[in-house]
A and B are shown apart, each in its own frame.
Chain A
């Protein structure tokens, strides 16, 4: 008997990836690079005091958002938690509006009212950007419910972290999705840590986190999040199941974040060994892996790859300049976007007092 492990499957040969043109493959690489460069710029200016609050970096996890959202059909929808920059750029939001949001500027995607954790672009089917762990899971369920109710063919990808799987709302959402046959795909982006607490110290489970879906009669799968092709191949099946069969799926995409839970995570390098972080960077980095593969396959040259990196860095730097030079919200802006009716000065908004300032 041989103890040699079976060879890894090559998801690059899956039909959904075979269908990609060279330009589209390079597009996946480019988007991952843009996300990383954007966040590296954000980190630099966060540390320089240009933005407030938290900064939850996605660096290391890029293949998850890029791979899954690259599968988007016209009526597929996306919602995530607070580590939302990668999803935002993946749905097509611009660096400018995202960086400006973090800088707290009027030109931000949420007019400076949401911050890093609350990016939104409903016109691109992106519904946030949500700050409370697992609080977005019923919303993702609801977006998918809405698609089914309105008779539209599509699905909602609802992302959460491995730290969200022990929240009640997540389990309520799983139950409702199975019970009502809702076209939602829950995507656990498992980076191994709920802030500073490892998966082993936070979750009781058999096999893997996604296996919990069995209790709800829901299909599930586990995906290597460092391989954008595997992400696409397996997520495609879940999305088709949702769109065509109105069946939910729970996916667990194994990934890793190089930085702490947020940049304010003082112990980011204490609860993990330097070897662990270095191993991921060296052997599992999704950008490095795709670059290597594209170059090996002759689809990309070192020079082009470097140019993509340089262009992304330049774009990120320009977004910083845009954000820095943009105007801040005014005191008057504090009072808008509270009620739809008052924003639209409807007859209803003129009846009774809505606000209780002096």
Chain B
């Protein structure tokens, strides 16, 4: 039996189960404990688990993420919350030099089983500094893994897989998804894990493939309904779920099925996730394409503040529909 949970509660359930499974898992971050989480993902967990297993850090991202990396080399498995993934910039050296490279530079003698998680999205009226979408940025560093769940079930399954993974995994959530609800398998039916590197067809279709991750998946599903109802176009929606490792087979399979593809990606166009996916499609499925690969990305500027217009900067059903119609 599955239950309906919010994305937030599903994440919490995943974190809770991993704290119970492994005493070396520890959660740290700004306001995660006594404040119950800036976005309430960890609500109630401090009361349940106490200050050893979940504790508040100062606003000191480089310090506490580096601390987690060091502790992980010794066998602790820290799960660190960035209140916004946008704050990666003040911890960048720790995230890319230490976490990503320590295994390599030590010739495999060290490893770094950390999880860094938090929201990475635009669309909440907080301006450019708080609206960065760095999936592609971190996926560009060998040694790192990146995933971006779109649904409550995937959020739970991926956070659990990330915690069990022995490499650094950066989980990119979305503040606009935290309140979304969806079916999540009942723990009584077994451990719900979603492996990294496995995409998921969220809507089967035959005419055009929409390939997305994170909240863009939700936007694609809405666009697909419009395209079906108003234009008779049957879109397939492929949710990447994991950026690195990346399910290349699933990408190529949907392209070979529909022969037309629109990549939908909240990243900026230059070097975004879609830039990589587009490259792989042309390299491996060029002959299957009946039309050029198209993209719907965030409009190429820093994130605008204005609540009146910011949704137009992001991929949305209107922009996706227009792009699909330009293809067929």
Which size bracket describes the interface of B in this complex? 35 or more
Q: Specify which chain B residues have a CB less than 8 angstroms from the CB of A341 in the assembled complex.
A: 165-167
- The A140-162 residues at the B interface (CB cut-off 8 A) are 140-147, 149-150
Report if A339 contacts B (CB, 8 A).
yes
Scan A79-121; emit 1 where CB is below 8 A from any B CB, else 0.
Answer: 1000000000000000000000000000011111110001011
Residue A311 CB within 8 A of the other chain: no
A172 CB contacts on chain B under 8 angstroms: 60, 62-64, 66
Residues of B contacting A109 with CB < 8 Å?
Answer: 107, 109
With the chains together, A336 CA to B220 CA distance in Å? 37
What's the least CB distance linking A77 to chain B, in Å? 8
* Contact indicator A356/B276 (Cβ below 8 Å): yes
Q: Which of B151-180 contact A (CB under 8 A)?
A: 161, 165-167
Whether A146 lies near B76 (C-beta < 8 A) is yes
Contact between chains at B73 and A142 (CB < 8 Å):
yes
Q: Tell yes or no: B322 within 8 A of A by CB.
A: no
B244 interfacial contact with A, CB 8 Å: yes
Question: In the complex, what distance in Å separates the CA atom of A135 from the CA atom of B106?
Answer: 16
Query: Once bound together, how far apart are the Cα atoms of A257 and B145, in whole Å?
Result: 41
Stretch in contact with the other chain, from B40-48, B127-135, B191-199, B257-265: B191-199
Q: Give the docked Cα–Cα distance between A196 and B65 (Å).
A: 31
Known: A111-B108, A339-B103. A169 touches B197 (CB 8 A): no
Contact A146 B71 (CB under 8 A): yes
- What is the CA–CA distance of A192 and B142 in the complex, to the nearest angstrom? 37
Surface stretch bound by B, among A8-16, A29-37, A122-130:
A122-130
Q: Is the CB of A145 within 8 A of B107?
A: no
Give which listed residue, B63, B74, B143, B242, contacts A339 with CB less than 8 A: B143
Nearest A-chain residue to B99, judged by Cβ: A139
* CB of A351 closer than 8 Å to a CB of B: yes
Instruction: Point out which of B94, B107, B111, B280 has the most chain A C-beta atoms below 10 A from its C-beta.
Output: B107
Is the C-beta of A331 less than 8 angstroms from some C-beta in chain B?
no
Given A172-B60, A340-B103, A352-B247, check contact A120 B66 (CB 8 Å).
no
Q: Which of B66, B195, B246 has the largest count of A CB atoms less than 10 A from its CB?
A: B66
Contacts of B69 in A (CB 8 A): 138-139, 142
Query: Contacting A129 at CB < 8 Å: which of B52, B72, B105, B198?
Result: B105
Q: Type the 1/0 row for B182-218, where 1 means its CB is closer than 8 Å to any CB of A.
A: 0000000000000111100000000000000000000
Residues on the A chain within 8 Å of B103, using CB: 337-340
Q: Is the CB of A352 within 8 A of B198?
A: yes
Contact with A along B25-64 (1 / 0, CB 8 A): 0100000000000000000000000001000011010111
Using Cβ atoms and an 8 Å threshold, which residues of chain A touch B72?
A: 142, 146
Assembly CA distance A354 to B245 (angstroms): 5
Contacting pair A352 B196 (CB below 8 A): yes
Residue of B whose beta carbon sits closest to that of A154: B74
* Chain A residues whose C-beta falls within 8 Å of the C-beta of B109 in the assembled complex: 109-110, 120-123
User: A138-B69, A143-B71 given as contacts; is B107 within 8 A of A337 (CB)?
Assistant: yes
Indicate if B93 sits at the interface (CB-CB under 8 A). Answer: yes
- From A123, A169, A344, B62 is in contact (CB under 8 Å) with A169
Q: How far is the CB of B288 from chain A (nearest CB, A)?
A: 18
A118 in contact with B106 given A146-B75, A339-B143, A341-B165 (CB within 8 Å): yes
Among listed A173-181, A235-243, A285-293, A296-304, interface-contacting one: A173-181
Q: Which residues of B contact A108 (CB under 8 A)?
A: 107
Q: B92: shortest Cβ distance to chain A, in Å?
A: 11
- A129, B75: Cα distance in complex, Å: 19
- Is B269 in contact with chain A by the CB < 8 A criterion? no
> Which residues of B, 86-133, contact A by the 8 Å Cβ criterion?
93-94, 97-98, 102-111, 113
Interface positions of B from 75 to 89, Cβ below 8 Å from A: 75-76
Tell me whether A173 and B166 are in contact in the complex, defined as CB-CB below 8 angstroms, given that A120-B107, A149-B76 are known contacts: no
CA distance A146 to B65 in the complex (A): 13
Bound Cα distance from A54 to B35, whole angstroms: 47
Task: Point out the residues of chain B lying under 8 angstroms from A176, CB to CB.
Answer: 57-58, 60, 63-64, 67
Let me know if B66 and A141 touch, CB within 8 A. Answer: yes
B positions within 8 Å CB-CB of A? 24, 26, 52, 57-58, 60, 62-76, 93-94, 97-98, 102-111, 113, 142-143, 145, 161, 165-167, 195-198, 242, 244-248, 276, 280
- Beyond A120-B107, A179-B58, 5 additional pairs, beta carbon < 8 A: A147-B74, A169-B94, A337-B106, A340-B111, A351-B195
Q: Which 3 A-B pairs have the closest CB atoms?
A: A352-B197, A142-B70, A138-B66
| Residue contacts A-B, CB under 8 angstroms, 11 given | A113-B104, A113-B106, A120-B107, A120-B109, A127-B73, A138-B62, A138-B67, A142-B73, A145-B70, A150-B76, A169-B62
